Amino acid sequence: MAHGGGEERGVSLPAQGIPAGAGRTCPNCGSALAADNTATLCVRCHRELRDQLRTPPLYSHEFFDTGEFRAAFDSQHMGKAFRAYRNHPHHLRLFGKPLNQELLGRWLGLTQAQVSKAEKGKPELNLEVLRRYALVLQIPKDLLWFDFPGEKRRTSATTLGSATMDSATTIAATLELPQKVVPWSPSNLLNEDPTTHVERLISAREHFEQMYRSSGGLTTGNRIDMYLARQTLPLLTGMAGDGNMGLKSQRAMGGLVALAGVCAYDSEDWSVAYSRFSHALLIAEAARDYGFHAYVLALMVNQALALEDYKSALQLAEVGLRSSEKVPPSPLLIDLQTMKAKALAFMGDRSEAMAMIREIENTAGRLAGSHDIAEASYAQEGHLHAQLAEALASLREFHAAGHYAEQALVSDGHPRGKVNRLASMATLEMAMGDIERASSLACQMVDTARGMDSRRLSSRFAKLRAEFASQPTTTSREAIARIDSAIAVIL
């Protein structure tokens, strides 16, 4: 996953291979490499790493500075850039062969045949398609031959505060919103007080946020897209620029765009979620809002964790924490720290994960109830306790995890949050061997989730179901039946 440009972007994966020769070992597991293995990793680690590449890794600017990439950019041929990416020396060193077209296509939403055609055929000319491919592969914008609406390609990294935008409407124009919707634009709209326009956008975000929490992303995401297409563009007409009201309008629109990304994430439409988050980061830059910038990065960290892309989650969390340092401390800071701890825990870095958790425990109490960022109101005490419980459970610190999970269950919160907390507690009880209580919690989880159309919840339910199926009892069979009914409705 990527974030919205700026000097924080240069995070790279290890790119140094191990010289060929006798005595070579796999740097990941330490096993001896076969004599005919030209890759850096052993076959088993190679396969595991390849299977983890569900989204493109984060690479630095230097990754794209190769002769094959330069030739692709000079010829303005995205298909050649695909081939340069797949055949990059880093991939050859790491895997012993290029990335395959099927994997690249999965990232881009293309079939293997479509990737092959793109690499060998005529250059893609559709700007919206080119922009989407560039965003997914995180190609630095100063290397591209085309601009993004409202932006000019940058020849060097910029800071958040120096970012500019021609207009808020140009950002909205890149969102691939419904094209057949007639905009709603009453005759007196442009005569209204600009403050009213901003308040209208803020009110809409609050409305859709409540709708998301009670109904899920599948339903709410479509409604937000319709709203953006019908009302946001007319509302923002003539309001952009560097003036104070222009910045406020951009910032208010950013909240809606970010929520649209949350809904896409909840629908497991990963590429659309990534695109929405990327646009929200651009809006954060334009509005010069570090807190909102950190919030959007927190959303991207959460998606990376869901995709089990823990390295990207860690990198994005660190960037988000650097942004959060520029604003007054709030629970969002704790949320980013907690997700960083989860990423470290899942990567097996026990000492760093525990050090981060101890830091969280020392500071969390002082930040309770402080919400300078309206969108980050989700970071309530119960949510943070649930996150800590999951991080500790992954480290097999079950007693401490149970303490936080119990606190999360008794905390106030919206129904969507309660469903996730019940799922976390049920998973923890399964890990500790209390199948009866886990089954009871799972049934409560399903009951609380009634009316929510969410593929993320469906996937979480399915994972919990598999754990129950592996240890069948009378009560676990009841939980399985309840989960099956819930999943069938969502699907």
Computed over every residue of the chain, the mean pLDDT equals 75
Domain boundaries, the chain: 7-158, 160-268+275-286, 289-388, 414-491
- Token reading at 118: 């793109």
Better pLDDT: 61 or 315: 315
Query: Which residues face 25 on adjacent strands?
Result: 32
- Token reading at 47: 């396969």
If phi > 0 it is left, if psi is from -120 to 50 it is alpha, else beta; for residue 347 that is alpha
The letter for the amino acid at 99 is L
How much is the pLDDT for 153? Answer: 54
pLDDT at 169 over 50: no
Share of the chain above pLDDT 90, in %: 10
Better pLDDT: 161 or 312: 312
Chain segment 397-424, per-residue pLDDT in tens = 888 888 888 877 777 777 777 888 888 8
Whole-angstrom CA distances from 251 to 34, 281, 293 are 55, 10, 10
Whole-angstrom CA distances from 10 to 140, 329, 375, 412, 423 are 10, 25, 27, 40, 36
CB contact at 8 A, 333 and 321: yes
Better pLDDT: 151 or 81: 81
Q: How far apart are CA 458 and CA 486, in angstroms?
A: 8
pLDDT at 62 over 60: yes
What DSSP state is assigned to residue 61?
G
> Average of pLDDT values for 222-231?
78
How much is the pLDDT for 3? Answer: 38
CB contact at 8 A, 146 and 123: no
> Average of pLDDT values for 196-207?
85
How much is the pLDDT for 227? Answer: 83
How much is the pLDDT for 22? Answer: 46
How much is the pLDDT for 359? Answer: 84
**DSSP state letters, 325-343:** TTS---HHHHHHHHHHHHH
Name which of 172-181, 327-336, 341-350, 372-381 the model is least confident about. Answer: 172-181
Report the C-alpha dihedral over residues 380, 442, 309, 251, rounded to 10 degrees.
Answer: -30
Closest by Cα among 321, 223, 215 to 3: 321
Closest by Cα among 415, 408, 410 to 392: 408
How much is the pLDDT for 258? Answer: 92
CATH number of 289-388: 1.25.40
How much is the pLDDT for 398? Answer: 85
Angle, helix 270-287 to helix 127-137, in steps of 10 degrees: 90
Question: Which range is most confident: 94-103, 257-266, 275-284, 425-434?
Answer: 257-266
Using CA of residue 11, residue 144, residue 173, residue 222, what is the dihedral sign?
Answer: negative
How much is the pLDDT for 149? Answer: 67
Chain segment 106-126, per-residue pLDDT in tens = 888 889 999 999 999 988 888
How much is the pLDDT for 85? Answer: 94
Chain segment 23-52, per-residue pLDDT in tens = 677 655 667 777 766 655 566 665 555 544
CB contact at 8 A, 169 and 236: yes
How much is the pLDDT for 44? Answer: 67
pLDDT at 154 over 70: no
Chain segment 412-459, per-residue pLDDT in tens = 777 777 888 888 888 888 888 888 888 888 888 888 888 888 888 888
CB contact at 8 A, 224 and 259: yes
CB contact at 8 A, 304 and 317: no
How much is the pLDDT for 120? Answer: 93
- Token reading at 352: 């760093």
How much is the pLDDT for 168? Answer: 37
Q: How far apart are CA 333 and CA 373, in angstroms?
A: 11
Q: How far apart are CA 142 and CA 140, in angstroms?
A: 6
How much is the pLDDT for 287? Answer: 75
How much is the pLDDT for 86? Answer: 93
